[in-house]
Amino acid sequence: MTPKRRIIPIFVPHLGCPNDCVFCNQRKISGSLVPAGAAEVRAALESAGALAPCGAELAFYGGSFTAIGRERQLELLQAARPWLENGFLEGIRVSTRPDAVDRPALELLASCGVSTVELGAQSMDEAVLAASGRGHGAADTVRAAGLVKEAGMKLILQMMTGLPASSPDSDLETAKKLAALAPDGVRLYPTVIIRGSALYELWRRGLYREHTVAEAVELCARIVPVFRAAGIPVIRLGLNPTEELSGGEAAGGAYHPALGQLVYSRLYLEKARSLLSALPKARRVALGVHPSCVSFMAGHKRENLEALRSEFGLERVAVRGAETAPGGIEILELI
């Protein structure tokens, strides 16, 4: 079994960003106020190297990496060179804006060992991009994605749901357009209202209706299958929980420490509903899923099983681990 690659995160909040998107407050999202420099990169690598000898990836998150000055890019990337040369690092990834990507920028990244580029696409709807203050259009995402793939790097796309001027249909259309770009993975971030952001002020004044957790779960349960059907993994669903966000800096919107679990539980519920609808009426049912997915099928506080019991008039619904592929469901017992 191949071990999961460790990620060593370095936060460079707001470095290179030419404008403030309405939803953004990087200090609150990342928990970092001062952008990292070469010393921080070396310290993080030395600390990680003391725990395990190899198999890590260095990831620069939070800013628009290719929009910062060339010298600063080189400072950060060259600080990691010794760890690339000795084999401790298997690669480096950076996050950036679609309109800050061109061939010279990618050539610089490649020369310093960058193997993955994450693009903050967020939406492919022009009205949503404008209302969110993104400062770029959908065509920039298409162009940048093509250049990253042309350079032989892995491409990760980030999208958001529930942004100003968006709708479930426009977000679903964004997912389809991003899937058509054939990225190596996607991050799906339902909008969170963070204190100190422009979106927080719009919401407080009644000019933005929040994208609730319940709405995000329902919508993401429609979006995830779009990427799955295209063979594209969703590598993150929802903002990474931090003490600040959980402590109240997430004032509203779709913030939940286990949002991904809620979405995958919903997917199992819908699949089980479809399966039971095609079966003869029964009193008791036992469902089999991969052992790692039992909690997803059961749902939070076993709410999925209770929903199925009520909807199908069953005396009992059980779930057990079985030799089933992740995502699959089989009937173990039907009485």
User: Is the Cα dihedral 106, 108, 111, 114 positive or negative?
Assistant: negative
Give yes or no for a contact between 217 and 223, defined as CB atoms under 8 angstroms apart: no
- Cα–Cα distance, 310 to 332 (Å, whole number): 20
- pLDDT at residue 3, rounded to an integer: 44
Instruction: Look at the chain and count its residues.
Output: 335
User: Tokens 């290179």 appear where?
Assistant: 16
Strand partners, 189: 160
- pLDDT at residue 174, rounded to an integer: 98
* Sequential DSSP letters for 243-308: HHIIIIIEEEES--TTHHHHHHHHHHHHHHHHHHHTS---SEEEEEE-GGGHHHHH-GGGHHHHHH
Give the pLDDT of the chain (335 residues) as one tens digit per residue. 334 568 899 988 666 666 678 888 655 454 445 667 899 999 999 988 766 666 789 999 877 899 999 999 999 999 999 999 999 999 999 999 999 999 999 999 999 999 999 999 999 999 999 999 999 999 999 999 999 999 999 999 999 999 999 999 999 999 999 999 999 999 999 999 999 999 999 999 999 999 999 999 999 999 999 999 999 999 999 998 888 888 899 999 999 999 999 999 999 999 999 999 999 988 999 999 999 999 999 998 899 999 999 999 999 999 999 999 888 999 999 98
Nearest Cα neighbor of 191 from 97, 135, 260, 122 is: 122
Strand partners, 96: 119
- Cα–Cα distance, 55 to 90 (Å, whole number): 6
- Cα–Cα distance, 94 to 57 (Å, whole number): 11
Helices 168-179 and 213-229: crossing angle in degrees, nearest 10, is 30
What is the arrangement of strands in the sheet containing 330-334, beginning at the earlier edge strand? 316-321, 284-289, 330-334
- pLDDT at residue 267, rounded to an integer: 96
User: Tokens 């009937």 appear where?
Assistant: 331
- Coil, strand or helix at 89: strand
- pLDDT at residue 29, rounded to an integer: 52
Nearest Cα neighbor of 119 from 87, 162, 157, 147 is: 157
Radius of gyration of the chain (CA): 22
- pLDDT at residue 18, rounded to an integer: 67
Q: What secondary structure letter does DSSP report for 18?
A: S
